[in-house]
Structure 1
Amino acid sequence: MNKVKVGVVGYGTIGQRLADGVVRMGDMELVGVANRTPNLGVRALKEKGMPYDLYMSDPKYADAYAEAGIPVCGTMEDLAEKCDILLDATPAGVGAENKKLFERMGKPCIFQGGEKNDVADVFFHGYANYEKGLDKQFLKLTSCNTTGLIRAVDCLDRNCGGIERVAITIIRRVADPGDYHRGLTNALKIDKAPSHQAVDLMTIMPHVEATGILVHTPVTHGHIITITAQGKQKITKEQALEAFKTHDRIRVVRIADGFLGNASMFKYARDLGNPRGDMYEIGLWEESIVEYGDQIMFAIYIPQEAVTIPETLDGVRAALHMQDTMEEATAKTNEYLGMAKWK
């Protein structure tokens, strides 16, 4: 079987995880990764024996790479030339600049949630609108919060008779572990409503009316989202729970078993031996599911560093038309990533 050749541009929090995810795909081959500077991720790559070929995004940092003793295989253009598709995980705004090169070379690319929507042909989610991404040159992923939110809402929409509207509250971690750019803080900060995640959900699922509030919190391990959903017909707790349990990217957990919050989730992922303590699935607390009149309410956990990886790999399958349908594509991604192994 000829494997799809994939390159990752940007070797930071998401890029490192994308590279590892591509390696796990039995029908894909990681050609290499590109990065602008010899950051800590690149330095760790060297210390691990350079398991991935490394390319420079910006040749002006060649001296910095040489000084650090880190071998490179060429430029980002050299990497793109060898690939069937690129996954751009650079900081917001950089991807739009990189797109100019990919357009000139005729290479498809998938951008992460930090880029503006107009960078791509389709604003993409692996479950909610996979077929819209088929054969498109440029796709853009939803953010980590929106990715997990849509997983849960789409699950109910497909399995419980349809969703008409949702209201969400996002309790948002302020920065990733290891980041300092948000400073040291002892405060909560609220954003103007509606949050972009609610707007993004309506862009992907235009038949659902959504609104939401977002609160920044001084923690680093994950977000929690509360969701109140109005179905086209009443959704019972039993129906919702059954639907969530069938979804391979939703892990239903119980407070009674010790899953008290975000720290419990992160610790459990580490106890499982997951690299970096990552979780690809979102967590959903069984005890949080409640009926409120004709609405259903529940809470989910978003592991922000890894949650978008499966949907990005779905994007590769759509852009290169590796599978025709969402069901086929997500099943293949889930199989290679070992999703739902806890069931």
Structure 2
Amino acid sequence: MVKVGVVGYGTIGQRLADGVAFQGDMELVGVADIGPTLPVRALKEKGMPYDFYLAVPENREKLEEAGIPISGTLEELIQKVDIILDATNAGVGAKNKVLYEKYGKKAIFQGGEKTSVADVFFHGYANYEKGIGKQFLKLTSCNTTGLIRSVDCLDRVVGIDSVMIHIVRRVADPGDYHRGLTNALKIDPVPNHQAVDLMLIMPHVKATGVLVHTPVTHGHIITVFAKPKKKITREEVLESFRAHPRIRVVRIADGFLGNASLFKYARDLGNPRGDMYEIAIWEETVTIFEDHIIYALNIPQEAVVIPETIDGIRAAMEMQTDRLEAVGLTNKYLKIGG
């Protein structure tokens, strides 16, 4: 049983803790954070299903005032586990890495950290083998994770030479105020980092793209214009997508009009926090144009990276050396594609 700790109990950290707890071959030892944040207060109100470790000792009094039991310090959590999932704010993980190295522990960092923090820039489906046995892995961002799922899916069927992508990006997570209130769109320079990151994971595919920030909070939408290495029909593309456990093919005709429809559907399914692990591809957007594959997908940014992070544990800890066996177990325990 691999012992896992989660450092940073925020938007991603909460979901990582739940994801690890679902795994039948992993043990969640505890979570760590800096103080009585709203997620930590909610953890207490739920009866402390996970042990809490304090990352900032100066905040002990605040936690005691809030009635939140403390199981130990961050360093004590690190010493108890085999691997840490670092879900702290960008830049904090790189500082925490010093502690992980001090105790000889493995760690997986999220997309906000610089790629240089890790031995391998990792994606469960696209380059699982490169993460096997490595000490430090870094996940791709939420957009890149979902994008690579779809491109890798097609690449393994027909081979992909290049992709052009256009991302309509939510500006903040629900509940975030620090980015401000806005009624404007903002465009990034070409190429966006997701295109660059895709090429780091899949160096045989050429990629470029545009990114537009939008004042919404539930999900990103990406359109993809992919050049296959050989001819493929629309039905074959759809068949490939439908066969992928972490891709959900939906139809506008059925009421899936956009990102909000998918978030509401996840809530109607009873998924905790309205989460959905799968990306969604709209059937009506899938087409073949001038021998190129076109499609649009939705990225549920708060949960999409959880399966690939679990895959990372399997790779780093050498729990499985076969890619499909590893992702299959992650899918099984998270009840994806069942």
Contact 1:166 1:229 in 2 (8 A): yes
Question: How do residues 54-133 of structure 1 correspond to structure 2 at under 5 angstroms?
Answer: 54-133=52-131
Contact 1:119–1:140 (8 Å) recurs in 2: yes
In structure 2, distance between residues paired with 1:38 and 1:322: 34
CA distance in 1, matches of 2:193, 2:69: 41
The alpha carbon displacement at 1:13 in A equals 0.1
Q: For 1:218-260, what per-residue CA distance to the aligned partner results, in whole angstroms no more than 9, with x for missing partners?
A: 1000000000000111222111101000000000000111000
SS at match of 1:194: coil
Identify the residue that residue 49 of structure 1 maps to in structure 2: 47
Report percent identity of matched pairs: 71
Q: Tell me the residue number matched to 1:13.
A: 11
1:146 is matched with 144
Among residues 183, 186, 189, which one is paired with 1:186 in the alignment? 183
- 1:247 counterpart letter in structure 2: H
Tell me which residue corresponds to 1:203. Answer: 200
Cα distance between partner residues in 2 of 1:151 and 1:215: 21
Instruction: Report the counterpart of residue 23 of structure 1 in structure 2.
Output: 21
- Are residues 1:332 and 2:329 paired? yes
Distance in 1, matches of 2:189 and 2:232, equals: 30
Gaps of 5+ in 1: none
Partner Cα separation in structure 2 for residue 162 and residue 57 of structure 1: 46
Q: How many pairs align?
A: 338
State the one-letter code of the partner of 1:311: E
2:297 is equivalent to residue 300 of structure 1: yes
* CA shift for structure 1 position 61: 1.0
SS at match of 2:173: coil
Aligned mates of 1:276, 1:247 — CA distance in 2: 24
**1:169 equivalent in alignment to 2:166:** yes
- Residue type matched to 2:257 in 1? L
The C-alpha deviation readout for 1:96-117, integer Å capped at 9, x for no partner, is: 0000000010000000000000
CA distance in 1, matches of 2:73, 2:294: 49
Residue from 284, 289, 295 that aligns with 1:287: 284
Q: Which runs of 5+ in 2 are unaligned?
A: none
Counterpart AA for 1:300: L
Matched, 1:241 2:241: no
Provide the C-alpha distance between the structure 2 equivalents of 1:235 and 1:137, rounded to a whole number of angstroms: 40
CA–CA distance in structure 2, aligned partners of residues 219 and 236 of structure 1: 34
Q: Deviations over 1:73-111 (max 9, x none)?
A: 110111011101100000000000000000010000000
**Offset from partner CA, 1:294-342 (integer Å, 9 cap, x none):** 101000000000000000000000000000111110000000000013x
Looking at structure 1, the residues matched to 62 and 120 of structure 2 have their Cα atoms a distance apart, in angstroms, of 37
The amino acid of 2:40's aligned partner reads V
Contact kept? 1:35, 1:57, Cα under 8 Å:
yes
User: In structure 1, what is the Cα distance between the partners aligned to 2:46 and 2:316?
Assistant: 32
1:16 & 1:312 partners in 2: Cα distance? 13
Superimposed CA distance per residue, residues 149-184 of structure 1 (whole angstroms, 9 cap, x where no aligned partner)? 00000000001x200000000000000001101111
Q: When the two structures are superposed, what TM-score results if normalisation uses the length of structure 2?
A: 0.99
Which residue, 261, 269, 274 being the options, matches 2:271? 274
Q: SS state of the match for residue 86, structure 1?
A: strand
Q: Which residue of 2 aligns with 1:251?
A: 248
Instruction: Give the 4+ runs in structure 1 shifted more than 4 A.
Output: none
TM (normalized to structure 1)?
Answer: 0.98
CA RMSD between the two structures = 0.6
